[in-house]
Amino acid sequence: MQKMDMNQIVGKCHILFVCLDCLRYDVAFEEQQSGGTPVLNRYGDWRKCQAPGNFTYPSHQAMFAGFFPIDEDILDMKKREILFFSADIGMGRKAPEGAFDFKGATWIEGLAMEGYDTYCIGGVSFFDNRTDVGKVMPSYFQHSYWNPSFGCKVKESAVHQIDFAVRKLEQITEEKKILMYLNISALHYPNYFYIEGAKKDSRKAHAAALRYVDQQLEKLFAAFQKKGETFVICCSDHGTCYGEDGVWYHGVNHPIVTTVPYKHFLL
- Name the pLDDT band for 256 (thresholds 50, 70, 90): very high
CB atoms within 10 A of CB 134: 16
Measured distance CA(148)–CA(160) in Å, rounded: 10
Measured distance CA(51)–CA(176) in Å, rounded: 32
Work out the average pLDDT over 185-211.
Answer: 96
**233 - beta bridge partners?**
17, 264
Q: Which of 53, 51, 68 is nearest to 15 (CA)?
A: 68
Measured distance CA(251)–CA(164) in Å, rounded: 30
pLDDT, residue 40, reads 98
Average pLDDT of every residue of the chain: 94
Share of the chain above pLDDT 70, in %: 98
Work out the average pLDDT over 125-153.
Answer: 96
Residue 96 has pLDDT above 90, yes or no: no
Measured distance CA(170)–CA(173) in Å, rounded: 7
How do residues 29-53 score in pLDDT, each as one tens digit?
A: 999 999 999 999 999 999 999 999 9
The pair phi, psi for residue 227, each rounded to 5°, is -75, -30
Work out the average pLDDT over 156-178.
Answer: 94
- Report in angstroms the alpha-carbon separations of 265 from 19, 23, 158: 14, 19, 21
Taken in order of first residue, the domains within the chain and their CATH numbers are 6-266 (3.40.720.10)
Burial 77-103 (b: 16+ CB within 10 A, else e): eeebbbbbbbeeeeeeeebeebbbbbe
The pair phi, psi for residue 59, each rounded to 5°, is -65, -45
pLDDT, residue 4, reads 86
How do residues 171-194 score in pLDDT, each as one tens digit?
A: 998 889 999 999 999 999 999 999
How do residues 229-242 score in pLDDT, each as one tens digit?
A: 999 999 999 999 99
- What pTM was estimated for this model as a whole? 0.95
